[in-house]
Amino acid sequence: MKIYNSLTRKKEEFVPITPGEIKMYVCGPTVYNYFHIGNGRTFIIFDTIRRYFEYRGYKVKYVQNFTDIDDKMIKRANEEGTTVKDVGDKYIQEYYKDADGLNIKRASINPRATEFVEDIIEFISGLIEKGYAYEVDGDVYFRTNKFESYGQLIGQNLEDLKVGARINVDERKEDPMDFALWKAQKPGEPAWDSPWGKGRPGWHIECSCMAKKLLGETIDIHAGGVDLTFPHHENEIAQSEALTGKKFANYWMHGAFLNINNQKMSKSLNNFLTAREILKDYSADVVRFLMLSGHYRSPLNFSDDLLESAKSSVERMYNAISNLENLIDEVEKEKMDDNEREYLKSLDVYRQKYIEKMDDDFNTADAITAIFDLIKDINTNISINSSKELCQEVLSLIRELGSPLGILQNSTKLSLEDEVEELIRQRQEARKNKNFALADKIRDDLKARNIILEDTPQGVRWKIIK
Ligand code: AMP
Ligand code: ZN
């Protein structure tokens, strides 16, 4: 399997530290608001990559943090007249609702920064002991000058970075590039006791610390959106490698932005659409299809046209699923014959194509094309004369290839419950329109199927009589 490694700027063969296992850390959201579909793109990309590793037989330990203490959290708590802890609790719950709605698998662990403050203090103390950090007036800074390979991820040396950076010159820092590991408490801010007085952790240190604590000193993959490359990930490398003397992450992966009118979708530009807004009108399959229809390292320009076209593509895929589900109920032949067995074997070319594309740095766009090619083949070759077994096999092949992408897992058949609820709704509608003949017919048809409707003060109830 090949992965583009942002650290070496090359596609490399993927070799895990422990055969068959992957330790993966993905920078998660700051939980001060509902997440938008730009964040959603990054979450979906790495969820898909994790699912694909699992599809290829790896055991993945997947850690995605919640940043639950920072300036934005404090501001939101003040606006809502509540505590930073409550803001975190609330938006973590909301995160799960939306992430579940987008069919994003739950991480193995979702650590909260505030639950690791003791470990963070220990981490920072270790850096001070080794001369990589220093304290000024209750703040602690990382001494970038001492970490020789600072700038390795962004591919610049410290001097070039200083020229390019617009950094506030803070007289108290030894060097303008030094960054905060610990921030002394300001009035009204939540704070923890530390050897440097009351304060709170900086943002970068939380990820270094939680990755080390939960996954170990060297991890396989560290990932996040491309905006995190510098300074966040650069600083994570500096902190972790300065403390342990070991390589922090073997592969760094960065997902490109979701744009709107070629501008990054972001809260500050106020050009965003929340995950829950889009999920009101479109299914998780459609949103994921949209996000995965381009390469994860290429920016994707969001538009209504793109969304509609994703919707019709997903409909085409589900038409094939619906057709197969109906055939499974209708065909007469049960078992595959030799010809069908041969035919089923021939479909393996699509699985191989799909794997070849996904193995090449997760080319989801071409993997989707392989699914469409499979569907085209099935549509021309499967019919009412096929066997039930063949229909089931090809349906499970479609679902197998959809699963790493987090799509194509739904049934197009209504459950009995959904069907009866729908008929009850139609009957109520008919009564409202004084179409009693239709209302009675619906009730009688259900009765013929041993389903009895009862009108109660709480509404219509139904039961099956045996
Ligand atoms: P934040 O809550 O802003 O820290 O962002 C959480 C994750 O979403 C990070 O990995 C960001 O890189 C990513 N992200 C933010 N905006 C976008 C965007 N417009 N497109 C893709 N990813 C984004
Ligand atoms: Zn991070």
Q: In DSSP terms, which residues pair with 3 in a beta bridge?
A: 12
CATH architecture of 304-405: Up-down Bundle (1.20)
Confidence at residue 455, expressed as pLDDT on a 0 to 100 scale? 86
Confidence at residue 167, expressed as pLDDT on a 0 to 100 scale? 63
Confidence at residue 166, expressed as pLDDT on a 0 to 100 scale? 64
List pLDDT tens digits, range 307-346: 999 999 999 999 999 999 999 999 999 999 999 999 999 9
Order of all β-strands in the sheet with 258-260: 263-264, 258-260, 300-302
Prediction pTM value: 0.91
Half-sphere exposure of residue 411: CA atoms within 13 angstroms, side-chain side:
9
How much distance in Å is there from the Cα of 42 to the middle of ligand 2?
13
Kindly tell me the sign of the dihedral angle through the C-alpha atoms of 226, 28, 207, 268.
Answer: positive
Mutation choice for ligand 1 from 30, 32, 39, CB with most ligand atoms inside 8 A = 39
Taking CA atoms only, the protein residue closest to ligand 1 atom 14 is: 39
Which atom in ligand 1 lies closest to the alpha carbon of residue 26?
10
Confidence at residue 416, expressed as pLDDT on a 0 to 100 scale? 83
Confidence at residue 168, expressed as pLDDT on a 0 to 100 scale? 64
Taking CA atoms only, the protein residue closest to ligand 1 atom 21 is: 257
SS3 content of the chain, % helix, strand, coil (to 5): 50, 15, 30
CA angle 124, 145, 119 (to 5 degrees): 10
Q: What is the CATH number of domain 2-128+202-284?
A: 3.40.50.620
List pLDDT tens digits, range 253-310: 999 999 999 999 998 899 999 999 999 999 999 999 999 999 999 999 999 999 999 9
Within 10 angstroms of residue 114's Cβ, the number of other Cβ atoms is 20
Q: Which stretches in the chain have pLDDT values below 70? A: 164, 166-169
Mutation choice for ligand 1 from 87, 112, 227, 298, CB with most ligand atoms inside 8 A = 227
Taking CA atoms only, the protein residue closest to ligand 1 atom 11 is: 225
Residues with CB under 6 A from ligand 1: 27, 29-30, 38-39, 41-42, 224-225, 227-228, 257-258, 264-266
Taking CA atoms only, the protein residue closest to ligand 1 atom 18 is: 38
Could you tell me the residue ranges of all domains in the chain? 2-128+202-284, 304-405, 416-464
Integer Cα distance of 233 and 222 in angstroms: 9
CA angle 283, 107, 246 (to 5 degrees): 135
Confidence at residue 414, expressed as pLDDT on a 0 to 100 scale? 81
Which ligand has an atom closest to residue 113 CA? 2
Taking CA atoms only, the protein residue closest to ligand 1 atom 7 is: 39
